[in-house]
Structure 1
């Protein structure tokens, strides 16, 4: 049985990611936190929908956190839709209007603005979907066998 980490033990961005994972599940999207896309580029959350649509959600816990992120536009080529997840106190006027927006906390999230749809090329979608599946399998294996070889 897996134990749930108390919110008090999580960093602000991790709290947003946890709530967003729950919100995405309600929308029929399965998500992975800290999904590596390429060297030095890792999405806070990547989500895969039941029809294969791929979303990336970046969780920003403060104005400084957002301003420090100089790589966010690099994520656009790795998803069909791109969203920000912020808490209710975040100054949302900082966020680009051509991106989606969720307001979230540690327990869930609500979509405030739909992200524009930019359909991925079939080869890129296949690569990302396989990477998502393999990362999911590796993480499950680590939970099932923490001392396993090659993990």
Structure 2
């Protein structure tokens, strides 16, 4: 095994991986660390077959949750909002007005569906375009690392 090419994932990144696997099993595609607007960076954004957009914020600890003061700004950028935590997280801290996913690095379960708040069509179009462009840019950079494309 080539140790130099081995990356170590944080607890939050491991949760995001499990969330992405879970959402894929529900027919959604995901992208991690997407910037929907200046000053915001969501942990996982998911896109469904009818262009529905879900945002999932992964919290690895109580301190991680308590230090997050931006999460309400994400609500205007999705149809459904979820928290993803592991089984040891004190879920009573999380607002019950959002969805809840219990996850680990290998998958998860939707414990509470986030309420639906439909995006306006113009914002949905903007987000689908950003999702596609970011995903394509990241794939290109993986396939051709000598020609890094600019962007998030």
Distance 1:64 1:150 in 2: 35
**Misfit runs of 4+, over 4 Å:** none
The alignment of Structure 1 onto Structure 2 pairs a total of residues equal to 146
Distance 2:131 2:8 in 1: 27
The gaps in structure 2 that reach 5 residues or longer are none
Matched position secondary structure for 1:39? coil
Taking the TM superposition and a 5 Å limit, the aligned residue runs for 1:1-150 are 9-148=8-147, 150=149
Matched position secondary structure for 1:28? coil
Distance 1:89 1:15 in 2: 15
**TM-score computed with the length of structure 2 as normaliser:** 0.93
RMSD across aligned positions (CA): 1.4
How far apart are 1:150 and its partner, in Å?
Answer: 3.6
The gaps in structure 1 that reach 5 residues or longer are none
Query: Which protein has the bigger strand share?
Result: 1
CA contact (8 A) 2:141 2:148 kept: no
**TM-score computed with the length of structure 1 as normaliser:** 0.93
Distance 1:32 1:121 in 2: 21
